[in-house]
Amino acid sequence: MEIEPLTATIGAEISGVDLASPLSDDEIAQIRRALLDWKVIFFRDQHELDRERHIAFGRSFGDLEVHPLTPSTQKEPEIFVLPSQGTHRAPDVWHSDVTWRPEPSLGSILRIVESPPLGGDTLWADMGAAYDMLDDSTRKEIDGLVGLHDFVRVFGAHLPPDEQAKMRERHPTVEHPVVRTHPETGRRTIYVNRAFTCGIKGLDDSESRPLLAELERTATIPDVQCRFRWRPGSVAFWDNRATQHCVSNDFLPHRRVMERVTVVGDRPY
């Protein structure tokens, strides 16, 4: 197994491993260590990785969640399908996956199923490095603040109020620290995102909106980012506790289909 970093702090390609084959405990430990070190890791030429083996690889790192939008008729409920084509855009707002859950994910493992002829890169941001770039006064201001994360903000945005209320009964707004501590590395990271964070507890909109905008902008700084160009057989595995990501929709109107499994995490602190 060889690891080739993409930048000084985030992103690395791993070669010499076949994710479709059973992996040893030592191989799993090396991959987990690389994930902690580089926040997002990439594997090329994994052409034999089908849905069953994708799920098996994900389970090597913990239990897998089922997304509430996954059709009940889908044979593999752990697989979350992300299709984009025509005017239907891929998720191009910076975010960390499922922060609307009381216990958001440890990480996500994404494989490309249908590649567009060009474009469709994904970008990741190191939110620990982003935290380090804040000035001292901002760090003091946000220390101890609690962000509000809302499922409906994305998945129910275009629904009528009564339907939104029903969705919030199933998935109530949750609270997470604005700055979380990574449970394995101890790293302090910014833990608010444009997709799901709807406010800050105890602050009105006039106070919370500019502060959230300032923190959310840090993910867009090129110095904290890496960029990955997909091709058939590519797989990405990222740490949702340490990163945010977004997609470039420069492939539309062509078709791009991705499949994701998401490893269950714990409550942020």
Residue-wise pLDDT for 50-77, tens only, equals 999 999 999 999 999 999 999 999 999 9
Report, in angstroms and rounded to the nearest whole number, the Rg of the chain calculated over CA atoms: 18
Amino acid, single-letter form, for residue 172: P
Mean of pLDDT values over 102-131: 97
Q: Which residues are catalytic?
A: 95, 97, 245, 260
Confidence (pLDDT) at 76: 97
Confidence (pLDDT) at 157: 84
Confidence (pLDDT) at 158: 86
Q: How confident is the model at residue 137 (pLDDT cuts 50, 70, 90)?
A: very high
Burial of 206 (0-12, 13-18, 19+ CB in 10 A): exposed
Mean of pLDDT values over 161-166: 90
Asked whether the predicted pLDDT for residue 222 surpasses 90, the reply is yes
Can you tell me the distance from the alpha carbon of 217 to that of 246, in angstroms, rounded to the nearest whole number? Answer: 13
Residue-wise pLDDT for 231-246, tens only, equals 999 999 999 999 999 9
Can you tell me the distance from the alpha carbon of 228 to that of 149, in angstroms, rounded to the nearest whole number? Answer: 27
Mean pLDDT over each residue of the chain, to the nearest integer = 96
Can you tell me the distance from the alpha carbon of 242 to that of 125, in angstroms, rounded to the nearest whole number? Answer: 8
Helices assigned H by DSSP within the chain: 25-38, 51-59, 127-132, 136-142, 152-155, 161-170, 205-217
Identify the sign of the CA torsion 199, 203, 205, 207.
negative
Q: Which pTM does this prediction carry?
A: 0.95
Number of CB atoms found within 10 A of residue 249's CB: 17
